Structure 1
Amino acid sequence: MYLKIYRIDGIEKIVAACDQELINKTISEGDIEITVSDKFYGTDIATEDELIGALNRVNNANLVGKRVISIASKCGAISEENCLYINGIPHIQIL
C-alpha cells in the first residue's frame, strides 16, 4: 500500500493511503469519480504497522482500497459500514 502523511507546521495532520494496485487509476460509478493519484497518496510503500501507527497519530484520513480499509477497520480507526463503495472499491474520509 502507499502512504503519505501531510504535516502542517511539523505536526502530522492527515493520512492518505491506498492499495498499491489502485495508484494512478481512476475509479468511477455513476456520477462519482476518484483518481487515486500518486501526487496525493504518495509513492512510499508502507507496511500494515506503519499505516496503523499513522492512523493512531492523526484525526483525519483519506483511505481507498480493500486492504487499506480492512487494516483501518481492524485497528478501530474506522467502521467499514461507513465506507462509500465505488465500483466495489471502498473509500472513506475521516474528518
Structure 2
Amino acid sequence: MKIYVKVYRVQGEVLLAACDEELMGKTFREGELKLEVKERFYKGELRDVEDLEKLLEEATIANLVGERCVGKAIELGYIDKDRVLYIQGVPHAQMAKMLW
C-alpha cells in the first residue's frame, strides 16, 4: 500500500499533506470530531511511505492521516505517539517546526 503526498509552498512555509492511500476521500466522525480526507487537499503523488523521511525533513508543517503515515512520522521522531488523535480508530497528527 502507498500513501498520497502533496506539498504546498506558501510564504516561506512548506506544508506536507499525507494520507494512507485507502483513506482518500473518506470522512470519519467520533463525537464532535470530524476528519475529512479531501482529495483537493491530500491527493498529490502516490508514493512509498519511506519517502516521508525526506519530505518531513523539508516540511515546516505537516498534516498526516493513517497508520502508515503517522506511524512512520512517529518512528522518525517527528510526532509524539501520545499526541496522536484517533477518530474512528484512524490516527491523525499534525506537526509544526519552530524555527528560531
Q: Same fold (TM over 0.5)?
A: yes
Give 1:12 shift: 5.7
Identity %: 38
Give 1:93 shift: 1.2
Runs of 4+ in 1 over 4 A off after TM superposition: none
Report the count of equivalent residues: 94
> Aligned partners of 1:14, 1:29: CA distance in 2, in Å?
26
Give 1:14 shift: 0.5
> Aligned partners of 2:33, 2:13: CA distance in 1, in Å?
29
Question: Within 5 Å, which residues of 2 pair with 1:23-62?
Answer: 23-62=24-63
Gaps of 5+ in 1: none
| 2:13/2:61 contact within 8 Å kept | no
Gaps of 5+ in 2: none
Aligned to 2:73: 72
> Aligned partners of 1:80, 1:46: CA distance in 2, in Å?
23
Aligned alpha-carbon RMSD (Å):
1.4
Residue by residue over 1:36-73, the C-alpha shift from the partner in whole angstroms, topping out at 9 and shown as x without a partner, is 01110123101123211110112210001011111111
TM-score normalised by the chain length of structure 1: 0.90
